[in-house]
Amino acid sequence: MSTDLETPLPTKFDVSDFDPRARRARSIRRLLLGTIALVAVLGLPWWVYPPIAVDIAAWALFAISVDLLLGFVGALSFGHAAFWGVSAYSAGLIAQNFGLPFPVAIVGGAIAAMIIAVPIGYLAVRRSGIYFAMVTLAFAQMIWFVANQWKDVTGGENGLQGVPKSFFGIELIETEAFYFYYVVVILIVAGAWLAWRIVNSPFGRVLVAIRDNSARTRALGYDVEKYKLIAFVLSAGIAGVAGGVFAISHGFVSLQELDWTTSGKVVLMTVLGGMGTLWGGPVGAAVIVLLEDRLATSGFDGIGIITGSIFILCVLLFRRGIWGTAKNLIDRARAGYAKRRS
């Protein structure tokens, strides 16, 4: 089933590959974008309150993990909070009980998320389109119920409190969010790099083929379910890294991490940023985290009214999202420029 998500195929074999001038222009553009990204990643805790910077980084990676499925497999997961939350609880428990340095706890959390993703993904990939969204949502809710009832481990409604940030006894990193950011951002960038590698690999090409025409891909001899399942588990792992970072940064884990509104929030970020772009997610994450922070400090208690309205407007008028619209404008301007030159 084809999904018309208005996402242009990431064209890998561009004609401009063979034009040296266009190639140079492209590498300059890449360098420019890379520099902007690097400045944004390194400068973030200078511009915003450092704990908020960590939040933005975690949500950004979470949004990338959702976009990996939505934009490149055409599967909307409305239950990604399951992986974010399972990893948050697992990372919290590992850090609490074994006193391991937090990157180990985060990686452990991500592995737990991937393990839980195998049975959920196995069942979910049997359905596509809207069914996939409903099935993932339902299974995520099941995990929420289990966590709510399994009080011995999860602490029920109290959550996990006092998760330590141990990091080889380096106090500056353990206590100052500013320095903590620069350690966790390595994990975040690694996760984002992994997503980018997946999309730009032969494996990623097959995923896009499944998105565009799963029947044809199957006819070409690819095991569609297997590819989707692998993508699902990888996406869950990336979401797990994000959830682990979030849990360690906050020092506590609550049921909110598994809540369906968390799944909805990350989908909102992905759509707002621009689905199928991978880098739109971080933009959407930054906008929403900063907006919610601003609203919370101003004492406004109806955040859902604002975010829900943004979502409605975005879906009605602005389906490419922020990144997609910007990219579209730049592409059009470039096409116009090229036309005038020739």
Partner 1 sequence: MDAFLQYTVQGLAAGGFYALAALGLAVIFGALGVVNFAHGSFYMLGAVASAVLLDVLGIQFWAALVIVPILMFIFGIIIELLLVQWLLKLDILYNFLLTFGLSLVLVDLVKRQYGVSGLPYELPAGLGGLLQIGSVEVPSYQLFVFLFALAVCLVVWFVLSKTRVGMIVRAATEEPERARALGINVSAWVTPVFGFGVALAGLAGVLAAPFRAITATMGTNFIIILFAIVVIGGLGSVLGAVVAGFLVGLVEAYGQGYAGTFSQVLIFVLMAVVIAVRPAGLFGRKEAV
**Contacts of residue 272, Cβ cutoff 8 Å, sequence gap at least 6:** 280, 283, 284, 287, 288, 310, 311, 314, 321, 322
Q: How far is the CB of 76 from partner 1 (least distance, A)?
A: 5
Residues forming contacts to partner 1 in the complex (CB under 8 A) are 1, 3-5, 76, 123, 126-131, 133-135, 137-139, 141-142, 145-146, 149, 260-261, 264, 267-268, 271, 301-305, 307-312, 315-316, 319
86 or 135, CB closer to partner 1?
Answer: 135
Chain centroid, CA 307 distance in Å: 18
Helices (H), 125-164: 129-149, 151-154
Do residues 271 and 311 make contact, with C-beta atoms less than 8 angstroms apart?
Answer: yes
Q: How far is the CB of 145 from partner 1 (least distance, A)?
A: 5
Q: How far is the CB of 211 from partner 1 (least distance, A)?
A: 12
Q: How far apart are CA 222 and CA 207, in angstroms?
A: 10
123 or 170, CB closer to partner 1?
Answer: 123
DSSP state of 157: G
Q: How far is the CB of 75 from partner 1 (least distance, A)?
A: 10
130 or 330, CB closer to partner 1?
Answer: 130
Q: How far is the CB of 10 from partner 1 (least distance, A)?
A: 19
Largest CA distance in the chain: 71
Candidates 75, 106, 38; CA nearest to 232 is 75
Do residues 81 and 258 make contact, with C-beta atoms less than 8 angstroms apart?
Answer: yes
231 or 310, CB closer to partner 1?
Answer: 310
103 or 273, CB closer to partner 1?
Answer: 273
Three-state DSSP class for residue 275: coil
